[in-house]
Amino acid sequence: MQASLLLVEDDDTIRETIRDALCLEGFEVTACGNGRDALKHLQIGEGEPPFSLVVLDLMLPGLGGLEVCRQLRQVGDRTPILVVSARDSEADRVLGLEIGADDYLIKPFGMRELVARCRALLRRSQPAAEPGPVVLQHANLALYPEECRVTRDGLEVNLSPKEYRLLELFMQHPRRVWSRDKLLEQVWGVDYFGDSKTVDVHIRWLREKLEANPSAPEHLITVRGFGYRFG
């Protein structure tokens, strides 16, 4: 999808040069030569902003670029604004940015730099993608940490809290070998003083719920002399 830009520049030659350069780079460009026309194009205060980016000269007849920028920000329009201006003093750049511009490019400039800055502003203005839910998967098993839920072949498995924590630990560290003592420390806590055989019991229960053949497990594997691993 093409990004839609509004180009506001009073010099006809510069306006057409910039428009042609941006169109060649795949942008959809609307151009005008003064601030009042710019505000009309932007439909200030009326619904969603119609443009993805505004390229705005400061030295405009009548309504200047700084005033256009100020009015947009005053009504809450957050459309990114790239100011292009021959005013090159630090005070001018600071004023433009403080009024609400997102970037400031000094004339004369190269078209490649202009295009690069436009693309950078568009990237920064894109909303971050919502991260999908975290899912731990192995073969026919899926564990959903945010929901404390486990499925086998798509069907929910009813696990006790300790069984769930054991499986979560195993699935977070596939193929790692865990001793009984380490499993007790991670799942039952360092202050647990019960029999370490409780680990064997919970492993057996998990196998009965998760394995197609609990006597020949494919997921929860015994590593003789060391402990257990997953996968």
Q: Same domain for 186 and 114? A: no
CATH assignment of the domain containing 27: 3.40.50.2300
Structure tokens at 96: 């433009």
Per-residue burial over 10-43, b = 16 or more CB atoms within 10 Å of its CB, e = otherwise:
beeeebeebbebbeebebebbbbbbbebbbebbe
CATH of the domain at 141: 1.10.10.10
145 shares its domain with 99: no
8 and 118 co-located in one domain: yes
Lowest mean pLDDT, pick from 6-10, 52-56, 74-78, 178-182: 74-78
190, part of any domain: yes
Pick the last residue of a domain from 85, 100, 125: 125
pLDDT of residue 196: 82
Residues 157 and 185 in one domain: yes
The position carrying tokens 């003083």 is: 193
Is 131 domain-assigned?
no
Q: Are residues 203 and 97 in the same domain?
A: no
Q: What's the pLDDT band for 208 if we cut at 50, 70, 90?
A: very high
Please check whether residues 97 and 163 belong to one and the same domain: no
Let me know if residue 39 belongs to a domain. Answer: yes
Instruction: Name which residue leads in pLDDT, 64 or 128.
Output: 64
Whether 100 has a pLDDT exceeding 70, the answer reads yes
Helix (H, G, I), strand (E, B) or coil at 230: strand
Q: What is the C-alpha to C-alpha distance for residues 52 and 37, in angstroms, rounded to an integer?
A: 17
Give 102-150 pLDDT, tens digit per residue. Answer: 999 999 999 999 999 999 999 888 765 556 678 999 999 999 998 999 9
Residue 41 lies in a domain: yes
**Residue 46's pLDDT band (cuts 50, 70, 90):** low
Q: By the 8 A CB rule, do 102 and 80 touch? A: yes
Amino acid found at 117: R
What was the pLDDT predicted at 81? 95
Q: How many distinct structural domains can be found in the chain? A: 2
Query: In this predicted structure, what is the pLDDT of residue 52?
Result: 92
Q: Which of 99, 125, 151 is the last residue of a domain?
A: 125
Q: Give the count of beta carbons closer than 10 Å to the beta carbon of residue 226.
A: 11
Query: What would the mean pLDDT of 34-51 be, rounded to a whole number?
Result: 79
Q: Which of 97, 125, 153 is the endpoint of a domain?
A: 125
DSSP state of 188: I
120, 20: one domain? yes
| Residue 158 sits in the same domain as residue 108 | no
User: Is 92 within 8 Å of 107 (Cβ atoms)?
Assistant: no
Residue labelled with tokens 């997921």: 219
Regarding whether 210 and 100 lie in a shared domain, the answer is: no
The verdict on 140 and 112 lying in the same domain is: no
CB atoms within 10 A of CB 183: 22
**pLDDT, mean of residues 184-206:** 88
Domain that holds residue 16: 4-125
Domain membership of residue 130 (yes or no) is no
| Domain assignment of residue 71, yes or no | yes
Model confidence at 193, in pLDDT bands (50, 70, 90)? confident
Q: What pLDDT shows up at residue 88?
A: 87
SS (H, E, C) 108-177: CCCHHHHHHHHHHHHHHHCCCCCCCCCCEEECCEEEECCCCEEEECCEEECCCHHHHHHHHHHHHCCCCC
Can you give the pTM of this predicted structure?
0.56
Same domain, 71 and 171: no
